[in-house]
Structure 1
């Protein structure tokens, strides 16, 4: 099988098109990089104080805490159990909640009270989902449909 012909204006040896115009051009004279060397008006977040003889200096830098909230839905999630401190994939179970009762009431109002109103209590899609630790059975979270 023969190699395809080179593209017009490409490097005939490698068969690769040349870079677009302006590629690899140095930045303009007033360009300041986003990260790297500080600009002229840069002020540090702290200022170093001169040391006095017989005095020790401790600098404490704190960062704001990042709280990650776990989203509990219908599927099991990987999380850390607060009771046994193990990294687990939660086990899920379904329990009747407010949404199932509301759907049953709506079905009764539409005249489906002869047994059809009990359907929401049999369908997992209408129930709340409880996430628990498979090791210690501690309830970790709950997904309420309503």
Structure 2
């Protein structure tokens, strides 16, 4: 009832500390979504260091690079064996960084942030 003795169509407000009731059917409600965080940027990892923001410690860094034996290294080794260079020459690809995969790490937190596979 309103102040004039007439029934009211509006429901009473919720008590303090409670949220508003959901809207009645047929009413549209506009929703705003706020996304927090850092945008994800795609980095192209190659043989050289890459300036970027570390996804783990959020520091602005230039990646440290190291090399590890990958698929290309083993394929070159196998080809050298097929050509008869099995007396030690087939191990040369394991000594050349240009045949290995490149691992990019954060110099601040030492987490792997990327990898460049040669194959």
What TM-score, normalized by structure 1, do the two folds share? 0.55
> In the alignment, which residue of structure 1 is the partner of 2:100?
127
More relative contact order in 1 or in 2 (CA 8 Å, sep 6+)?
Answer: 2
Show the counterpart of 2:75: 102
Q: Which is richer in helix?
A: 2
Which stretches of structure 1, 4 residues or more, deviate above 2 A after TM superposition?
57-62
Distance 1:130 1:61 in 2: 37
- Partners of 2:87 and 2:116 lie apart in 1 by 30
Distance verdict in 2 for CA 1:83–1:59, change over 3 Å: closer
Cα deviations by residue, 1:60-79 (Å, 9 ceiling, x for unpaired): 599xxx85311000000001
Q: CA RMSD in A?
A: 2.0
Q: Which residue of 1 aligns with 2:85?
A: 112
The answer to whether residue 41 in structure 2 is matched with residue 68 in structure 1 is yes
Give the 3 Å change call, closer, same or farther, for CA 128–117 of structure 1 in structure 2: same
1:88 aligned residue (61, 64, 81): 61
